[in-house]
Amino acid sequence: MISSASVLSLLLSATLATAAIVEPATFASTSFDFIVAGGGTAGTAVAARLSEIGNWTVGLIEAGEYRPDDENILVPQGWNTAPTWGNPTYDWGFNTVPQPNLADRSINIVRGRVLGGSSALNLMGIFLAGATEYDQLEQLGNEGWNYNNTLKYFKKATNMSVAPEYLQIGEHATFNPQYHGNSGPIHASFSSWFSEAMPPLYNAMVNLGFTPVQDGGDGQDAGDVWSPPLSINQDTKTRSYSAIEYYGRNADRPNFHVLTGAQVTKIELSSTPDNNGNLRATGVTYVSGGQTYTASVSKDVVVSGGSIQSPHMLELSGIGNKTILESVGIESKIDLPAVGENYQDHLVNYEQFIVPHSIETWDVMFNPGVQNDTVWQEYLVNKTGPYTSSVNVISYQTASHVTQNDSLLLDWLAELDAQFNASNPSPGRRAMYNIERQRLLPSSQQASVEVYAAPFHAYANDFELNTSYIQISSVPSHPFSRGSIHVNSSDPLNYPRIDLNAWAFDIDRHMMTASAKYCRVIADTDPLKPIIQEYSFPGPNVTTDTEWEQFVAENVMTPFHPCCTNAMLPKDAGGVVDSHLTVYGTANVRVVDVSILPLQLGTHLMGTTYAIAEQAADIIKADYGAA
């Protein structure tokens, strides 16, 4: 048996410098130009880019630890085999309040609590949404936030590797270099192992009208089927993520100070406004080891706590809806009621099917003993096998294709218009609505539903050992409902109140139900159909619309794409930050993470998160004349 720790440390020693993580008191006595609050996917990236300016002193504060040689993070693993999810060493473990439309369930939200944030424990898909989605951000009043720039900064962040020829031919592991970086810090490549169940699934989707393309990340919106790039270093077959690539490689910079195991509790603001009527951030307060410290800052505080905690940090600092803040005893400093509003997340429906046991799937990892040991040795010795892969097949489709009934779609739109008008929307909300609404039109070529697939069971409590499964999952891409995330206590260590407000508009339920039915259509299509031995979950007894509606209400989860809680929009349209990512009413507090998106995107958010961080770094450098 080869020891896993020794192999992994060999794999890693080439790239990682010894990290200089500082003590909390030392950090507090340092005079910073910039402090980044939250060392996640975006925060670590933006801090690293700011520290390229040698005479700027940059501090990064992360609640979790730096774990560069932790195999639970490094070994690519798909779906819920990941030992990090639900584990408090890595995951904050948030839950929504019970959702009345989801059978009163609280929905679990996995969030990274480690240097690198959610990039340390996500499923590693790394790509962008269609070009129109980014251009729509600019149309909403955000100059410079368009596809061209997003692509430029996505490329700056990434380094994509060509797959071996047999995977290009057999598994569609291909890409167009025009749409991927080749020298950025984050490595990307394809799964190195595909289950035999995947080509039939891919070809069933082709038979349903999806177009096989060289690169699904080519800016086209819908209609493609492809094998997605993953943030895996092709040389080492380990996860490439924000902490090791943006920090680990730059840990020797004397001006880059990283404090881990410290939770930011407050941004300190000046008591009087500047000449423009804005408050200035003077420092950041944090708790570490039960002690409270404050570090001072001369330029900006960059809030990068992610979509759940960035609004929370602002509210704890007195920036938010005055009524809500005062109701829990927090002094209001800037009355900005849009903070924590506009919360959107995808919901995902998983369907689980049994395939012949002769087909190897990730389920072998769940069989203790021989099978699991075999694939683990395969990973350690040959860097091959199930432990080198994640999501295998992905596609986006139009509403018209998935519902297969334009008259029904028009009925839903009429119902939606009436419900939306009755909600008394603000002009800003209506502008976003109009963008989302036109996607549903029968004539639209834009993505409304994602379908992705993996060779694995989907339900942790509903599978048999020694059985091979595939899962086909569907995600309506653009929810109309809006939830909120707000402070629930003046104690900064208490979690905020997270209300997804799922399916407040019936269209979201309709689209989920239609998407769920569509996954079974895929399973019933050749050449996949002959290898489907059983509809496992849901079983064959779920067939009518009512049964599907009940099934999705009782079972949907999130693929962990919370966003939009500090929307970048004009202030009077419901904005929290302007297009330089500065919080309204402040001179120097910015937000840099996916909470700044005004609209949910039809994609998984990591690629966009890195692009946001890269673009933000250039904006900040330019604002201080350092570009």
Ligand X SMILES: *[C@@H]1O[C@H](CO)[C@@H](O)[C@H](O)[C@H]1NC(C)=O
Residues in the annotated binding site for FAD: 114, 264
The interface region with ligand X, picked from 85-93, 233-241, 559-567, 572-580 by CB under 6 A, is 233-241
In three-state secondary structure terms, 214 is coil
Residue pair 73/114 in contact by the 8 Å Cβ criterion? yes
Residue 316 C-beta: closest distance to ligand FAD, Å: 8
- Selection from ligand X, ligand FAD, none that 542 binds (CB < 5 to 8 A by kind) is ligand X
Residue 209 binds ligand X, judged by CB under 6 A: no
Q: Interface residues for ligand X in 516-535 (CB under 6 A)?
A: none
Pick between residue 338 and residue 380 the one whose CB is nearest to ligand FAD.
338
Instruction: Indicate the residue type of 174.
Output: T
Pick between residue 206 and residue 360 the one whose CB is nearest to ligand X.
360
Pick between residue 109 and residue 531 the one whose CB is nearest to ligand FAD.
109
What is the distance between the alpha carbons of residues 192 and 212, in angstroms, rounded to a whole number?
19
Total residues at interface with ligand X (CB under 6 A)? 42
Instruction: Indicate the residue type of 324.
Output: I
Residue 31 binds ligand X, judged by CB under 6 A: no
Residue 93 binds ligand X, judged by CB under 6 A: no
∠ at Cα 341 (338, 346), nearest 5°?
145
Distances (CA, A) of 286 to 26, 258, 319, 548, 588: 13, 13, 17, 47, 19
Residue 92 C-beta: closest distance to ligand FAD, Å: 7
Tell me phi and psi for residue 509, to 5 degrees: -70, -45
Pick between residue 135 and residue 623 the one whose CB is nearest to ligand X.
135
**Site residues, ligand FAD (CB under 6 A):** 37-43, 61-64, 110-113, 117-119, 121-126, 263-264, 304-307, 309, 313, 560-561, 593-594, 604-607, 609
- Selection from ligand FAD, ligand X, none that 418 binds (CB < 5 to 8 A by kind) is ligand X
Q: Tell me the residue ranges of DSSP E strands in 380-537.
A: 393-397, 449-454, 468-476, 484-486, 497-499, 534-537
User: Which two structure tokens, joined as six digits, stand for 50?
Assistant: 């700011």
x/- string (CB under 6 A) for ligand X, residues 168-207? ---------------x---x--------------------
Would you name the residues annotated as active-site residues? 561, 604
Residue 359 binds ligand X, judged by CB under 6 A: no
* Angle at which helices 506-523 and 406-422 cross, to 10°: 160
Cα separation of the two ends of the chain = 52
Q: Interface residues for ligand X in 38-67 (CB under 6 A)?
A: 55
Pick between residue 94 and residue 548 the one whose CB is nearest to ligand FAD.
94
Residue 460 binds ligand X, judged by CB under 6 A: no
In three-state secondary structure terms, 343 is strand
Residue 254 binds ligand X, judged by CB under 6 A: no
Q: Interface residues for ligand X in 492-511 (CB under 6 A)?
A: 495, 497
Residue 378 binds ligand X, judged by CB under 6 A: yes
Pick between residue 355 and residue 589 the one whose CB is nearest to ligand X.
355
User: Which two structure tokens, joined as six digits, stand for 206?
Assistant: 């082709």
Long-range contacts of 520-526 (CB under 8 A, 24+ apart): 520/351, 521/208, 522/201, 522/204, 522/205, 522/208, 522/451, 522/472, 523/204, 523/351, 523/353, 523/472, 525/204, 525/205, 525/207, 525/208, 526/204, 526/207
Pick between residue 202 and residue 247 the one whose CB is nearest to ligand FAD.
247
Residue 407 binds ligand X, judged by CB under 6 A: yes
- Give the number of residues written for the chain: 627
Residue 223 binds ligand X, judged by CB under 6 A: no
Among 12, 97, 208, 359, binds ligand X (CB under 6 A): 97
Residue pair 111/91 in contact by the 8 Å Cβ criterion? yes
Q: What is the DSSP secondary structure assignment for residue 91, as one 8-state letter?
A: B
Residue 85 C-beta: closest distance to ligand X, Å: 14
User: Which two structure tokens, joined as six digits, stand for 174?
Assistant: 């291909």
Q: Residue 446's Cα: distance from chain center in Å? A: 21
The interface region with ligand X, picked from 293-301, 373-381, 515-523, 610-618 by CB under 6 A, is 373-381
The binding site for ligand X (CB under 6 A) comprises 55, 97, 135, 146, 148, 159, 161, 183, 187, 233-235, 321, 323-324, 337, 357, 365-366, 368, 372, 376-378, 381-382, 405, 407-408, 411, 417-418, 421, 466, 488-489, 495, 497, 539, 541-542, 547
